[in-house]
Structure 1
Amino acid sequence: MAFSKPKCADFVALRDAVLLSGIVGVTDEWECSGEDFDTQARQAFANAQRVVKEAGRNWGDVAFVRAFLADISHYKDYSALFDEIFPSDPPARTTVQAGLVGPFLVELEITVTNG
């Protein structure tokens, strides 16, 4: 199912940080990347990495990740993926359960500093 991209910036650059929000697991055509949590979460992080690069920042400068999970039972899987994506010097993080727009199972907010 294709969705229209929300009317918002991919990122907002402040003097000392870049803010990303509403990062979900969609393809370049804004179609949901899959029905399972792992596929969506991996695609959401891939999308976030692309936006961080477009903002002229480095993935290693991610300072904070807030994850919204549609079902908190995915917390263990999310934590394992987070550890895989940030194998050393991980950023601060918060993970909460939230009612997300279907069919999305995960949504990310990310803060990136100047390094």
Structure 2
Amino acid sequence: MAWCAAVTTFQFSPINAPPAAQTVNHRCVPLSVANRCRRPPVVFASAASAAAITGNKEVIETDKAPAAVGPYSQAIKANNMIFVSGSLGLLPETGQLISDSVDDQTEQAMKNIGEILKAGGVGYDSAVKTTIMLADINDFSRVNAIYAKYFQVDPPARSTFQAGALPLGAKVEIDCIAVLP
């Protein structure tokens, strides 16, 4: 008698599709295969519970932050989280960089992120992860000093790296992931 693990896969149609468009497949795999997984499998009681976990997505938009400069949203709310797109130091009124200064651009990018988070119903204190992309890594300490003003208590996890180039000739771009209360 060979032991096996049940594996369930779910296939979901686009958001807002009727539940009938979702399919569930069950199969059995040998334990030796199941044990090679790097993570334990996620188990859902039903397709309905899987849909509840994956949830729907909601676009977050505000005119208090610059409009997206491409085919993306300012932010998306999904799974009790807010995913803020990379924010440049653009003025919301003009869509132009505030100045050529990395300090000014960082300050404005952080203000833009704050407005987008506010439109999503949270603030800086809900941020759990940010990514900072710099045109020049030598600006790290200047950007870090301004960034620190916005996350004084329990700062989020963060990655910072130098990008080859940023949109519109920007010197800094910052994205953010926040959790909903």
Query: Does TM-score exceed 0.5, indicating one fold?
Result: yes
SS in 2 for 1:88: coil
1:113 aligns with 2:142: no
CA offset digits 1:24-51 (Å, max 9, x no partner): 0001120111101000000000000000
Sequence identity, in percent?
Answer: 24
Residue aligning to 2:71: 7
The CA deviation at 1:5 is 2.8
Aligned with 1:69 (options 120, 134, 141): 134
Over aligned residue pairs, what C-alpha RMSD do you find?
1.6
> Number of residues paired by the alignment?
113
Residue aligning to 1:94: 159
Aligned with 1:26 (options 90, 93, 97): 90
Q: Contact (CA 8 Å) 2:110, 2:147: kept in 1 or not?
A: no
Q: Which has the higher contact order (CA 8 A, sep 6+)?
A: 1
Which 4+ stretches in 1 moved above 6 angstroms? none
State the TM-score, normalized to the length of structure 2. 0.59
The CA deviation at 1:6 is 2.1
CA distance in 2, matches of 1:34, 1:103: 11
Q: Contact (CA 8 Å) 2:124, 2:151: kept in 1 or not?
A: no
The CA deviation at 1:70 is 0.4
The CA deviation at 1:103 is 2.1
Amino acid at match of 2:81: A
The CA deviation at 1:22 is 2.2
The CA deviation at 1:58 is 2.3
1:37 aligns with 2:102: yes
CA distance in 2, matches of 1:57, 1:87: 16
Aligned with 2:113 (options 41, 48, 54): 48
State the TM-score, normalized to the length of structure 1. 0.90
Comparing 77-86 with 92-101, which one deviates more in the overlay?
77-86
Larger Rg: 2
CA distance in 1, matches of 2:144, 2:109: 14
Residue ranges of structure 1 left out of the alignment (5+ in a row):
none
Amino acid at match of 2:84: L
CA distance in 1, matches of 2:135, 2:77: 28
